Chains A and B, each alone.
Chain A
Amino acid sequence: MDMSVAVKRDKPWLMRTYSGHSSARASNELYRTNLSRGQTGLSVAFDLPTQTGYDSDHPLARGEVGKVGVPISHIGDMELLFDQIPLAKMNTSMTINATAAWLLALYIAVAERQGAKHEELTGTTQNDIIKEYLSRGTYIFPPAESVRLTTDIICYTVNHIPKWNPINICSYHLQEAGATPVQEIAYALSNAMMILDSIKESGQIEEKGFDKVVGRMSFFVNAGIRFIEEMCKMRAFTHLWDRLCVERYGVHDHNLRRFRYGVQVNSLGLTEQQPENNVQRIVLEMLAVTLSKHARARALQLPAWNEALGLPRPWDQQWALRMQQVLAYETDLLEYNDIFEGSPVIAEKVERLVEGADEEVEAVNEHGGMIAAVQNGYVKRELVASHTRRIRAIESGDLKIVGVNCFEQTAPSPLTTGTDSGIMKVDPAAERAQVESLQAFRASRNNDEVGAALDGLAEAARTGQNIMPASIRCAHAGVTTGEWAGRLREVFGEYRAPTGIDITTHDTTPSELVEAIRGRTRRTGEELGRPLRLLLGKPGLDGHSNGAEQIAVKARDCGFEIVYDGIRLTPEQIAKAAQEEGVHMVGLSVLSGSHIELVEDIFDKMRGVGLSDIPIVLGGIIPEEDGRQLKERGIAAVYTPKDIDLNRIMLDMVDIIRTSNGLQPYGALQ
């Protein structure tokens, strides 16, 4: 190539790394390091108590503070998080949903204290509650009230912070929950329509300014390993969104109809076995959302190669950032126009996705629209069914995963044998420090102002005024996250979403293996006098229920009676349910990293109801060393993402029940 000719290149996408941990101070240091290494925006990960509206010292927050993100309990934390980072210049994405209005209020309040103007602020609040009910689990309020908060944020920012992206309609988490490309497109678009319709109904936006609202809608999409189809998915998305903007909302300005989206590539397909292979998976998935200029992502964040093992370290995140930089700055990708334009193969695939998505959008309409289809469980059941088909295809070998169900032999990996086992560990002292600083903050504020601000919030919630001004007042007054959400819980009530496991996709042609397991389950039940009963519980605040749901569906297929009540259970509730339901075993699922604390607590509560002899098994992202420790403490078995063979887990569970009841275990199948 002739280097003397300056080639015109497109501007690269926004490069981010989803991060935050331990405390506002530690996260601020991490952000400043990442920015100095060429990251061009921030993507804030909040911890689960912050996402579900609890202060760091709430009983439900125990063990969760600073684990999957940064704890933000009040404006002091938020100021520290952006210390020496001028918000007037920064582009900040916040993955926050049920409490989005609150975190945005804190962000605005900090910006005001820094002297930034509202119209200078740029960034994104995820603010998509639908996928929380379907997949991610950090919802608080019932759907109607949640959508009202979403609507308030959008209307407020369109009127006051015009450069803000108030919502990221997420199909990302739907793919993680098993969605096919068609389902991903259809549910995201149904969701967007529901939100836009609700904004129209709220009357907060003038009729002639409505196209500006449409122009502020953005999406957060997943990219899986079938990267040609995924690329076509993005083209189909772009096409359908454009059509929707014109036909349904009469938007004629091209700029306001652009399908703007950010991406986090697939985590579902990352493997614990031979985790170095995840690097090439991530790179290929990145291609799906960058190759096609007409459907290119505006912002991209990549997971780290070791996500299936535990929390990534700063070096792992830097590696993920470097993948993007090599693609954007070293390759010639950004020198070309759309390289797929005119390809009949691609056009045909896109057409098929568009048709499928149209049909599924219609199905959602038939179920009463997106909110009704979430409440009556339609969408969730469809997702659980898709996920179940995926798992069965992996089991049967129809779906190949290198290092998992083929090419399993491996040399020992030098990447995971380092002194820190190749993952990040959160300092256990971080939670105590956060709790102490929160309590000091509470003692220092003016309680009259806090009380008045909270009363104003409740008033706005009840009367239907936009929630943002009252929330910003709360932020300045020193209200805490738990107080803000607590007051709204009083007004709005709390919600539990359908679990979706009541699907009818039985394994109607069960393999001999499944028949054999059913036989063992039935005979063991007969020997013990009654069918085997299993309680599945998700303790803690983590809402990623896909794994627990798949175990529930599988165990039913194998003849167990399953008691499953969904996410966010306290150890007391789990022990109480184990007693009342007379179960033979308890299965726990924890993905947030707080497994040690939660398991200790559950042992304690099980002893309290006289059930210390009921075996407990645990599934989740459990580092090996923790797994050993938990087994020593009495956990009967630990299952991690590498235990992809659910049949083996089922055989194992039957034998654990047998052993704990003084029966001979069957052992492996012949």
Chain B
Amino acid sequence: MTGQRRALPDPETLAGSVTAKDRAAVATALNLLDDTRPEARRVASQMLATLPEEKLDTEAHLIGITGPPGVGKSSLTAALINVWRRQGKRIGILAVDPSSPLSGGALLGDRLRMMAGEGIADNSVFVRSLANRGAFGGLSAEVWPMSLVMLAAFDIVLIETVGVGQREVDVSKLSDTTVFVAQPASGDSIQFLKAGIMEVPHVLVVNKADIGAAARRMLAELRTTLGHRIDPDGWEIPAVSASATKNIGIEELAETIDAHRQWLLSKGRLADRRRRFQAEWIIRRLLDEFGRFGVAQLGGEDGLFRQLTQRAGSPFDQFDELRDGFLAHLKTSPGT
């Protein structure tokens, strides 16, 4: 079976099909964003620029779900999916797993656990597994643009990762709402939070609430440590308990997560957050490519941040513009 070199898609048609919620188009767009060849990068940039801006600013809900390994994130995700499906919502999931540092390969295999139950059968759930591919600059860099494509096609976009301690994919720097999952009788969870390894989440949930006393102790401890605290935006952080396996507290959890989105919208903060994250994503990429020196030449991190958060636009376009500006600057600078 000899094939043809596959042609790159037409960016505008693709953006249109993604917005029209075509699953095949979403898959193609994600492949395109994953593609590191320069010509693919150009097409991807055009495609992102064609996605309707209001969708990217305030529509859909980008949720990050994170927590230490073994706390039951996948089964909790599955239980949440079932709630959202009953509400008639369409869900896109980006599931991030670590790559092998030795071979570059990765094993990705949590699709079915996440879709457990009815979600397998119909087309209301779309899962893309991602390998973090080691260092920043690998695929983890594409989680942000991939989220944008997903936001254009689904009602809820969920990023699932063992985000804690992973510099590469800190979901709390991407999501509208970050959910931190802890499990009873595990000191790790609280340590992670206390140590400030991640940004403070918006919703704390103790899974495996069926374990009983241990779960109640954990919840109490979370509440004293972090719960009822006010995050920098002024949101009072709730701590709730749930059991994915016994299907307890899942609807309440879904409501709590949605309450945070409503709160962001009512305060006019949703678009702000997304622009902030996009600005940070662009700055991280610039740092990765040109280092501190390059970023300083472009006005420094703070200056860039102010500049970027005031403008809308596709992340690739904004990045390319700054990149070209820097390269031009190098050419005209005396002594270089």
**A346 on interface, CB distance cutoff 8 Å:** no
**B30 on interface, CB distance cutoff 8 Å:** yes
Q: Please state if A561 and B105 are interface contacts (CB–CB under 8 Å).
A: yes
A565 to B128, alpha carbons, bound, how many Å?
Answer: 13
Q: Please state if B2 and A662 are interface contacts (CB–CB under 8 Å).
A: yes
Q: Please state if B105 and A580 are interface contacts (CB–CB under 8 Å).
A: no
Chain A residues with CB under 8 A of B112: 496, 565-566, 569, 573
Q: Please state if A562 and B104 are interface contacts (CB–CB under 8 Å).
A: no
**A89 on interface, CB distance cutoff 8 Å:** no
Within 8 A of A (CB), among B13-68: 23-24, 27, 30-31, 34-37, 40
How far apart are B314's CB and chain A's nearest CB, in angstroms? Answer: 19
How far apart are B20's CB and chain A's nearest CB, in angstroms? Answer: 16
Instruction: Count A interface residues, CB 8 Å.
Output: 52
Q: Please state if B2 and A556 are interface contacts (CB–CB under 8 Å).
A: no
Chain A residues with CB under 8 A of B304: none
Within 8 A of B (CB), among A644-670: 656, 659-663
The closest CB in chain B to the CB of A377 belongs to B70
Chain B residues with CB under 8 A of A564: 107-109
Q: Please state if B24 and A579 are interface contacts (CB–CB under 8 Å).
A: yes
Q: Please state if A562 and B108 are interface contacts (CB–CB under 8 Å).
A: yes
Q: Please state if A506 and B3 are interface contacts (CB–CB under 8 Å).
A: no
Chain B residues with CB under 8 A of A562: 105-109
* Cross-chain contact of A530 among B35, B70, B102, B109 (Cβ < 8 A): B35
Given contacts A496-B112, A529-B40, A531-B131, contact A552 B3 (CB under 8 A): no
Chain B residues with CB under 8 A of A507: 102-103
Chain B residues with CB under 8 A of A656: 1
A661 to B128, alpha carbons, bound, how many Å?
Answer: 22
Q: Please state if B107 and A552 are interface contacts (CB–CB under 8 Å).
A: yes
Within 8 A of B (CB), among A512-561: 518, 521-522, 526, 529-531, 552-553, 555-561
**B322 on interface, CB distance cutoff 8 Å:** no
Q: Please state if B111 and A659 are interface contacts (CB–CB under 8 Å).
A: no
Q: What 1/0 mask marks residues of chain B from 124 to 135 whose CB sits below 8 Å from any chain A CB?
A: 001111010100
How far apart are A607's CB and chain B's nearest CB, in angstroms? Answer: 12
* Cross-chain contact of B23 among A142, A563, A579 (Cβ < 8 A): A579
Q: Please state if A659 and B2 are interface contacts (CB–CB under 8 Å).
A: yes
A501 to B110, alpha carbons, bound, how many Å?
Answer: 12
* Cross-chain contact of A661 among B6, B70, B120 (Cβ < 8 A): B6
**B87 on interface, CB distance cutoff 8 Å:** no
**A613 on interface, CB distance cutoff 8 Å:** yes
Q: Please state if B109 and A566 are interface contacts (CB–CB under 8 Å).
A: yes
For this complex, into which size category does the number of interface residues on chain B fall?
Answer: 35 or more
Chain B residues with CB under 8 A of A581: 108, 111, 127-129
Within 8 A of A (CB), among B63-122: 70, 99-100, 102-113, 116, 120-121
Q: What 1/0 mask marks residues of chain A from 350 to 379 whose CB sits below 8 Å from any chain B CB?
A: 000000000000000000000000001000
Q: What 1/0 mask marks residues of chain B from 244 to 261 whose CB sits below 8 Å from any chain A CB?
A: 010000000000000000
Q: Please state if A565 and B103 are interface contacts (CB–CB under 8 Å).
A: no
Chain B residues with CB under 8 A of A120: none
A506 to B110, alpha carbons, bound, how many Å?
Answer: 21
**B4 on interface, CB distance cutoff 8 Å:** yes
**B311 on interface, CB distance cutoff 8 Å:** no
Among B30, B102, B126, the one with the most A-chain Cβ atoms within 10 Å of its Cβ is B102
**A634 on interface, CB distance cutoff 8 Å:** yes
A576 to B27, alpha carbons, bound, how many Å?
Answer: 10
**A290 on interface, CB distance cutoff 8 Å:** no
**A181 on interface, CB distance cutoff 8 Å:** no
**A508 on interface, CB distance cutoff 8 Å:** yes
* Cross-chain contact of B34 among A529, A659, A661 (Cβ < 8 A): A529
A502 to B106, alpha carbons, bound, how many Å?
Answer: 9
Given contacts A496-B112, A563-B129, A566-B112, contact A522 B104 (CB under 8 A): yes
Within 8 A of A (CB), among B120-150: 120-121, 123, 126-129, 131, 133
Chain B residues with CB under 8 A of A559: 103-105
Chain A residues with CB under 8 A of B23: 579-580, 609
Chain B residues with CB under 8 A of A521: 104-105
Chain B residues with CB under 8 A of A579: 23-24, 27
Q: Please state if B105 and A609 are interface contacts (CB–CB under 8 Å).
A: no
A142 to B210, alpha carbons, bound, how many Å?
Answer: 16
Q: Please state if B105 and A496 are interface contacts (CB–CB under 8 Å).
A: no
**B331 on interface, CB distance cutoff 8 Å:** no
A610 to B129, alpha carbons, bound, how many Å?
Answer: 20
Q: Please state if A506 and B36 are interface contacts (CB–CB under 8 Å).
A: no
Chain A residues with CB under 8 A of B31: 530, 582
How far apart are A444's CB and chain B's nearest CB, in angstroms? Answer: 32
**A49 on interface, CB distance cutoff 8 Å:** no
Q: Please state if B133 and A531 are interface contacts (CB–CB under 8 Å).
A: yes
A-B contact sample (19 more), CB < 8 A, given A562-B105, A581-B111:
A499-B109, A501-B107, A506-B100, A507-B102, A531-B133, A552-B107, A557-B103, A557-B105, A558-B103, A562-B109, A563-B109, A563-B129, A572-B121, A580-B127, A613-B3, A615-B1, A634-B1, A660-B1, A661-B5
A-side residues, CB < 8 A to B, are 142, 376, 496, 499, 501-502, 506-508, 510, 518, 521-522, 526, 529-531, 552-553, 555-566, 569, 572-573, 576-577, 579-582, 609-610, 613, 615, 634, 636, 656, 659-663
A-B contact pairs, 28 of them (CB 8 A): A496-B116, A501-B107, A502-B107, A506-B103, A529-B34, A531-B131, A531-B133, A553-B107, A556-B103, A557-B102, A558-B103, A559-B103, A559-B104, A563-B108, A564-B107, A566-B112, A573-B112, A573-B120, A579-B24, A579-B27, A580-B27, A581-B129, A582-B30, A582-B34, A609-B24, A615-B1, A656-B1, A662-B6
Q: A-B pairs with the 5 shortest C-beta distances?
A: A529-B35, A556-B105, A660-B3, A662-B5, A582-B31
B-side residues, CB < 8 A to A, are 1-6, 23-24, 27, 30-31, 34-37, 40, 70, 99-100, 102-113, 116, 120-121, 123, 126-129, 131, 133, 245
